[in-house]
Amino acid sequence: MSERAHFVVVANRLPVDRVVADDGTVDWNTSPGGLVTALEPVMRREGGAWVGWHGAPDEEVQPFTHDGYAIVPVPLSSSEFEEYYEGFSNATLWPLFHDTVAFPEFHREWWDAYLIVNRRFAEAAAEVAAEGATVWVQDYQLQLVPRLLRELRPDLKIGFFLHIPFPPVELFLQLPWRRQILEGLLGADLVGFQVAGAASNFLRLVRLRTEHKVERHHVQVGDHVCRAKSYPISIDTEGFRELAESPAAIAEAEALLSDLGHPKVVLLGVDRLDYTKGLRQRIRAVGELFAEGRLDPAEVVFMQVATPSRERVEEYRRLRDDIDLLVGRINSEFGGVGRPPIVYRHAGFPRQTMAAMYRIADVALVTPLRDGMNLVAKEYVACHPGLDGALVLSEFAGAARELKQAYLVNPYDINGMKDVVMRAVEDPPEERRKRMRALQKQVGTHTIDAWADNFLGDLKHYAR
Ligand code: GDG
């Protein structure tokens, strides 16, 4: 693969998963997800390359072409996977950037690995990018890449997008390597955040902790300017709507309803099993509503899907046990002899099944303690073009900035949350429709394609 790419995406993971057939032949399937769907057309159009880890430690995979663009695998050893990914990314940065809802751990060896791996990603990108190419670096695992890459290739246009929140100054300052992270990000021409508050947290830190001159959302960094702005991410709205309206998803939704015994009301939660998602509080709130008889377990079912995630990180194991215990206790106390009031699955499902679940849910409970955006909230809305359904949404999800007509809750306030859930269940259909109509409008007009176009358009404009 000698051709260099004019558009390069750098992300922790590649957009493909390896599948090995029975006869041993290896193939790569595109992994489902909005980011990949949105960027693939740009990749094909501009002669793109995607730089990322292929998911198997201690293994080198040669670059190859997939669906018309280049795949450039970056190797990680098992100790790097533990220290850079599970350690610094997911046990230091993740909790710190999510309001320290779990305790962040600081280990110097983890930082060393983070730096080494970020350098490797930057080198891989520098090698594959054509003269003057646009490089878009994704997320918290790679915050040092913009600067490292600029040092290697000052000719490139470098963008960075942070998918998770950027914390308030007081929390960020706990990080022993705070200065390096700020300087790492400042290597970009454009740093995108989910919400305006995150961009201002970042700019405030730059003003307080670096010597660079800040003016509104511009930072003068040596001879380039770094801009920080918000670009709220979204979903393939039309794709979800079509999927939810497809005969196959409708059939699946009906089968699901019949498995559940045709309850009067279906409440739904869908999350990666993560302590930021507010599962403990949500399950407690619904459990109390059953206990107090405000929700009748004979008529109402709460379906909670928790997709397995980061299972080797201690805090996630603890969470899994806590949720098992909590659900088990509620079900053993309030179930009849038939189906339990909480149907809980610790598993991942195909997209069509997700759409079927969204479809049958009368109320979606999206109540994270802190979330960069939260796409589940938007997917649920996209799957209710008929304006039935109601969205209960945490004030602390980035999505709440846009989905203002949702039933907003503070997930730390269990009583408040219980009242709002009851309102979402009991409000007259006109009220629920009015709110859903406004949400539809927002999600219908702000799609993932528009998000990518806005970011890349601005990057091209600013980085001239
Ligand atoms: C990070 C930020 C930000 C979940 N279970 C299954 C499944 N999913 C899909 C959902 C949704 C996605 O995974 C989850 O996205 P979220 O946005 O809800 O949350 P994070 O994973 O934490 O994502 C977040 C996002 O990045 C994008 O910038 O919004 O704030 O934390 O699309 O549908 N999909 C399938 N089966 C499952 O079992 N097929």
Per-residue pLDDT tens digits for 43-85:
888 889 999 999 999 999 999 999 889 999 999 999 999 999 9
Q: Extract the runs of DSSP E, i.e. beta strands, from 284-341.
A: 300-307
* 277 vs 274: CA distance, rounded Å: 6
Number of H helices, E strands in the chain: 17, 18
Q: What is the pLDDT of residue 1?
A: 52
Spatial separation of the C-alpha atoms in residues 91 and 274, rounded to whole Å: 12
| Cβ(376) – ligand 1 distance below 6 Å | yes
- Render pLDDT for 113-142 as a digit per residue (tens, 0 to 9): 999 999 999 999 999 999 999 999 999 999
Using the mean position of ligand 1's atoms as its centre, give its distance from the Cα of residue 360 in Å.
19
Please tell me the predicted confidence (pLDDT) of residue 2: 58
| 3-class DSSP state of 377 | helix
User: How far apart are the C-alpha atoms of 349 and 252, rounded to whole Å?
Assistant: 12
For the full predicted model, state whether its pTM sits above 0.90.
Answer: yes
Residue to mutate (ligand 1; options 94, 374, 375, 455; most atoms within 8 A of CB): 375
CA of 355 to the centre of ligand 1 (A): 13
From-to residues of CATH 3.40.50.2000 in the chain: 5-233+449-462, 237-445
- Find the 24 Cα to ligand 1 centroid distance in Å: 31
Is the confidence metric ipTM above 0.85 for this complex?
A: yes
Q: Is the CB of 308 under 6 A from ligand 1?
A: no
Q: Which of 1.10.1740.10, 3.20.20.370, 3.30.70.2190, 3.40.50.2000 is the CATH number of 237-445?
A: 3.40.50.2000
How many Å apart are CA 462 and CA 353, to the nearest integer? 42
Best substitution site from 94, 374, 383, 403 to test ligand 1's pocket, by max atoms within 8 Å of Cβ? 374
Residue 462 confidence (pLDDT): 92
Pocket flag, ligand 1, residue 192 (CB < 6 Å):
no
Q: Ligand 1 centre and the CA of 218: distance in Å? A: 31
- Report CA(436)–ligand 1 centroid distance (Å): 21
The gap from C-alpha 352 to its chain's centroid, in whole angstroms, comes to 19
Judge whether 54 and 61 are in contact, CB under 8 Å: yes
**Which structure tokens are listed for 197?**
């508050």
Place of tokens 């309102």: 423
For ligand 1, say whether the CB of 379 is within 6 Å of any of its atoms.
yes
pLDDT of amino acid 53: 97
Give 5-233+449-462's CATH code, choosing from 1.10.10.10, 3.40.50.2300, 3.20.20.140, 3.40.50.2000: 3.40.50.2000
Q: CB of 272 closer than 6 A to ligand 1?
A: yes
Cα 111 to Cα 133: distance, rounded to the nearest angstrom = 29
163 lines ligand 1 (CB under 6 A): yes
Query: Mean pLDDT per segment of 10 residues, for the chain of length 464 residues?
Result: 86 93 90 79 87 96 93 98 97 97 97 98 98 97 98 98 97 98 98 98 97 96 97 94 97 97 97 96 97 95 94 91 96 83 95 96 98 96 95 98 98 98 98 97 95 96 88
pLDDT of residue 169: 97
Kind plus residue range of the DSSP H or E element containing 192: strand 190-193
- Among this protein's residues, is 453 annotated catalytic? no
Distances from the Cα of 399 to the Cαs of 27, 207, 234, in angstroms?
36, 27, 9
CA–chain centroid gap for 356, Å, is 21
Catalytic residue among 371, 384, 446, 449: 371
- Residue 163: active-site member: yes
